[in-house]
């Protein structure tokens, strides 16, 4: 219907798929390893001006950045839409080296300015509510 805006509602849970072992298999092999190494290096370069920063990785249950960020000295929290999204980051959360929070990706209930850096890789192409998730990503960061 012309003139009527398109709205999508409901809980945003695109990261359930991107946190899965099946999704992780997309990065197996030499090309996948090269891609993940290049991604790791780029992200570590981007966050380098913020040593020991509090990092929120929204939709980061794929665990592609958890280990590298923890090893580089960052205080990492992964936000996932469901507790199932913790499976791949559990080696770090079980060891107390990172945290996982299950919450709505649009209304996570995280206090504004409670993180220094907010990351989100592999999420936005999958979400239904891009504007809402993007607005949420901007809110919890102090920088």
Q: Give the contacts of 113 (CB within 8 A, at least 6 positions apart).
A: 140, 141, 142
Instruction: Write the pLDDT tens digit of every residue in 45-81.
Output: 999 999 999 999 999 999 999 999 999 999 999 999 9
- Residue 143: pLDDT over 90: no
- Start-to-end CA span in the chain (Å): 41
Cβ atoms of residues 55 and 47 within 8 Å: yes
**Predicted confidence band at 6 (pLDDT cuts at 50, 70, 90)?**
very low
- The residue-averaged pLDDT of 112-117 equals 86
Predicted local distance difference test score (pLDDT) of residue 5: 44
State residue 135's pLDDT score.
85
- Confidence class of residue 107 from pLDDT cuts 50, 70 and 90? confident
Q: What is the pLDDT of residues 10-44, one digit of tens each?
A: 678 889 989 999 999 999 999 999 999 999 999 99
pLDDT of residue 10: 67
Ranges of each domain in the chain: 15-138
Q: What is the pTM of this model?
A: 0.87
pLDDT of residue 42: 98
In CATH, the architecture of 15-138 is 3-Layer(aba) Sandwich (3.40)
- Residue-level pLDDT at 49: 97
């Amino acid at each position: 219907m012309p003139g009527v805006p398109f709205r999508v509602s409901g809980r945003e849970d695109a990261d359930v798929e991107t946190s899965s072992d099946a999704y992780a298999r997309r990065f197996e092999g030499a090309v996948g390893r090269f891609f993940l190494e290049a991604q790791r290096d780029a992200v570590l370069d981007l966050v380098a001006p913020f040593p020991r920063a509090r990092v929120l990785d929204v939709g980061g249950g794929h665990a592609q950045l958890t280990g590298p960020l923890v090893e580089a000295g960052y205080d990492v929290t992964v936000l996932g839409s469901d507790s199932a999204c913790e499976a791949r980051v559990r080696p770090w959360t079980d060891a107390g080296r990172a945290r996982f929070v299950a919450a709505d990706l649009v209304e996570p209930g995280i206090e504004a300015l409670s993180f220094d850096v907010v990351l989100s890789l592999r999420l936005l192409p999958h979400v239904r509510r891009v504007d809402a998730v993007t607005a949420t990503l901007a809110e919890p960061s102090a920088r």
